[in-house]
A and B are shown apart, each in its own frame.
Chain A
Amino acid sequence: MSPDMNYALAEREAAEMEDRIPKHARPQEVGLRYVFGIATTVGLAALLFFLILPTVLVIPMSLGSADYLEFPPKGITFKWYVQYVTDPDWIAATLFSLKIAAATTVSATIIGTLAAIALVRGDLPGKALLQAVTISPMIVPHIVIAVSVFVAFAPLKLSGNFVGFLIAHTILAVPYVVLTVTASLQRFDATLELAALNCGAGRSRAFFSVVLPGIAPSVSTGAVFAFLASFDEATVAFFLSGIEGKTITRKMFEDIDFNLTPVVAAVSTMLVLVSLLVMGGLTLLQKLHRATSRI
């Protein structure tokens, strides 16, 4: 008996069973199911509301005209954004964060990609241990990393300093790059590289002309994760920041504690928009890439 047949039989049986249900019991059951369906929809909507509300809430809060956070805002104003862009402290912190995030993206992407190649293709002693150490910044509580780095870097004059931040943030960002690139290298057909080598290309030529284009989407995904891992990072930044070198997240921490003007809401909105644009753009690009590579 073919599976189709089986299916058809089962369906007929189900129909028959339905028929066997006493007619008067049915409307009630349908009614219950209807109520149940509405309850599920409302419940799910409430859960989604819980999920999305706190992220979206900062937007109306940043537009309120009062000098404190008021809800609902009585008038709409952009003065908090103007205050943010004209405050030299905020601008300095923003530029410092952007500089660190850009440098972290470059260093984490290069170091992570090279390491992923060695971990997937290389001949290395103690691969499992190396893998564990590479991933461990995702597992070890960030507070432990933050305090350790703060205590170790302070005597080396690396706290509140660009190089110190670059090292600490690269460590936090590198696992994202290693994980995404490793996954893509494992999917990448090794015989393509072999073909390039057989056709006379050297190791590096084969890598740059064949392997790298193949894994480029994952490398760029890793780079985007690395950027956000640094730009949005708050725990290490809180401890490693100094009076001079202060990141935007540390500045936010201070302002949340000391004055609750809507400027922080304006900065938060800006951070949300940056994250959404970057990740949304990445998702769109991936969709496009998948669509074109299928052809």
Chain B
Amino acid sequence: MTVTSTIAAPPINAINNRARASYARGYSKTLSLMLIAPLVLLMGFGFLYPVGKLLIGSLFAPEFGLEQFRRLIRSPLYLTVLLRTFEIAFAVTIASLFIGYPIAFAMAKLPRRWAALTTVCVLIPLWTSTLVRSYAWIVLLQRKGVVNELLLNLGWITQPLRLIYTEGAVIMAMTHVLLPYMILPIFAAVHAIPKELGQAARNLGAGGTSAFWRIMLPLSLPGVFAGCLMTFILALGFYVTPALVGGPRTMLMATLIGQQTTETLDWAFAGALSTVLLAATLTFVIAFRKTLSLNRGFAGVA
């Protein structure tokens, strides 16, 4: 603005343009830095410093080196846990896809009233806490739980089945907890497909099945990829559900890190495990970051 004041009588347009140029670009550097400073301080102290400290700490125990990581590789037990974490995350992603796709499709394509009902059924679990939903799975699957009681009453089994603390229980409960993260991106993708495309396919002689496989499915793939990536990443590092529904035989990376922190108090090893888990997660995020639009899920929610 100092420039304009030195010029005697600039044409009105020039002032407007100058003002527009400087204001439309937005706030000055100083002001911007002041606005973002609280966030930077918060992230620095409460996030980057603790995470960095934990990760670096794993390199200095007992002295500088990769000793903690060698322990991880040398022990078949820890390698099994690592492998199982990937297996379960993969199984959960596939199960969520097969359950989630039809639901997302119904949400987008059913007549108004039925679509609204489906949406409510998707949003209610999304809105309620994962702890409550994991607890519900204990109630369902425990020895004297709902499923066993029901089967016993029906006379289909004579002895309660061992359902809880198994790998199947963990996969089922995690699938249920993470389903909304699969459904919402697919819903957004299917919803965005113009209705005319399906009609055009039908008019050109495609049957319902053929129109789905050749038109709707390929066009919804971006949503499928986003949903799969989100579900897989969340499943890799999930703590609450495996901690409650799983047992010692279904130990995952997250529960192993928790155990090393609170029971064994081996913080250096917990740091090494966290580094591996974080590296795995970030690898997937960076490799597929194009498919991941965090806004997409929100567009579905709000």
Residues of chain A having any CB pair with chain B under 8 Å: 7, 10-11, 13-14, 17, 43-44, 47-48, 50-58, 61, 68-71, 110-112, 114-115, 117-124, 130, 133-153, 167-168, 170-171, 174, 178-180, 183, 190, 193-194, 197-198, 203, 221, 228, 231-232, 234-235, 238-239, 249, 252-253, 256, 260, 264-265, 268, 271-272, 275-276, 279, 286
A44 to B51, CA, bound (A): 43
Instruction: Say whether A141 contacts B237, CB under 8 Å.
Output: yes
User: Chain B contacts of A70 at CB under 8 A?
Assistant: 144, 149
List B residues 26-62 near A (Cβ within 8 Å).
Answer: 26-29, 31-33, 35-36, 38-40, 42-43, 45-51, 53-54, 57
Instruction: Say whether B128 contacts A221, CB under 8 Å.
Output: no
Instruction: Say whether B53 contacts A10, CB under 8 Å.
Output: no
0/1 string, B142-162, CB within 8 A of A gives 1 = 101110011000000000000
Instruction: Say whether A133 contacts B26, CB under 8 Å.
Output: no
Instruction: Say whether B24 contacts A190, CB under 8 Å.
Output: yes
Contacts A148-B53, A252-B135, A279-B127 hold; do A139 and B274 have CB atoms under 8 A apart?
no
A47 to B121, CA, bound (A): 10
User: Chain A contacts of B274 at CB under 8 A?
Assistant: 143-144, 147-148
Contacts A117-B35, A286-B302 hold; do A145 and B47 have CB atoms under 8 A apart?
yes
Instruction: Say whether A122 contacts B35, CB under 8 Å.
Output: yes
Please report whether the interface of chain B is mostly helix, strand, loop or mixed according to DSSP: helix
Interface range on chain B: under 10, 10 to 19, 20 to 34, or 35 or more? 35 or more
CB within 8 A of A147: which of B19, B205, B270? B270
A293 to B146, CA, bound (A): 48
Contacts A57-B140, A121-B27, A256-B244 hold; do A141 and B32 have CB atoms under 8 A apart?
no
Say if the beta carbon of B68 comes within 8 Å of chain A: no
Say if the beta carbon of B236 comes within 8 Å of chain A: yes
Instruction: Say whether B136 contacts A58, CB under 8 Å.
Output: yes
Find the B residue at minimum CB distance from A177.
B39
- A47 shortest CB reach to chain B, Å: 5
Instruction: Say whether A143 contacts B32, CB under 8 Å.
Output: no
User: Chain A contacts of B203 at CB under 8 A?
Assistant: 7, 10-11, 13-14
Instruction: Say whether B257 contacts A143, CB under 8 Å.
Output: yes
Find the A residue at minimum CB distance from B118.
A48
User: Chain B contacts of A221 at CB under 8 A?
Assistant: 302
- A140 shortest CB reach to chain B, Å: 6
CB within 8 A of A183: which of B33, B132, B261, B295? B295
Instruction: Say whether B128 contacts A272, CB under 8 Å.
Output: yes
Instruction: Say whether A145 contacts B51, CB under 8 Å.
Output: yes
Say if the beta carbon of B83 comes within 8 Å of chain A: no
Say if the beta carbon of B106 comes within 8 Å of chain A: yes
CB within 8 A of B26: which of A121, A139, A198, A252? A121
Instruction: Say whether A54 contacts B123, CB under 8 Å.
Output: no
Contacts A51-B103, A151-B54, A249-B129 hold; do A133 and B236 have CB atoms under 8 A apart?
no
- B173 shortest CB reach to chain A, Å: 8
Say if the beta carbon of B191 comes within 8 Å of chain A: no
Contacts A111-B38, A141-B278 hold; do A44 and B57 have CB atoms under 8 A apart?
no
A151 to B145, CA, bound (A): 37
Instruction: Say whether A57 contacts B36, CB under 8 Å.
Output: no
A180 to B270, CA, bound (A): 34
Say if the beta carbon of B131 comes within 8 Å of chain A: yes
Say if the beta carbon of B188 comes within 8 Å of chain A: no
Say if the beta carbon of B124 comes within 8 Å of chain A: yes
User: Chain B contacts of A53 at CB under 8 A?
Assistant: 140
A231 to B127, CA, bound (A): 12
CB within 8 A of A123: which of B25, B54, B278? B25
List B residues 228-259 near A (Cβ within 8 Å).
Answer: 233, 236-240, 243-244, 253-254, 257-258
Which residue of A17, A112, A141 has the most chain B CB atoms within 10 A of its CB atom? A141
CB within 8 A of B139: which of A52, A69, A179, A249? A69
User: Chain A contacts of B254 at CB under 8 A?
Assistant: 141, 143
A249 to B258, CA, bound (A): 16
User: Chain B contacts of A136 at CB under 8 A?
Assistant: 47
User: Chain B contacts of A239 at CB under 8 A?
Assistant: 258, 261-262
User: Chain A contacts of B278 at CB under 8 A?
Assistant: 140-141, 144
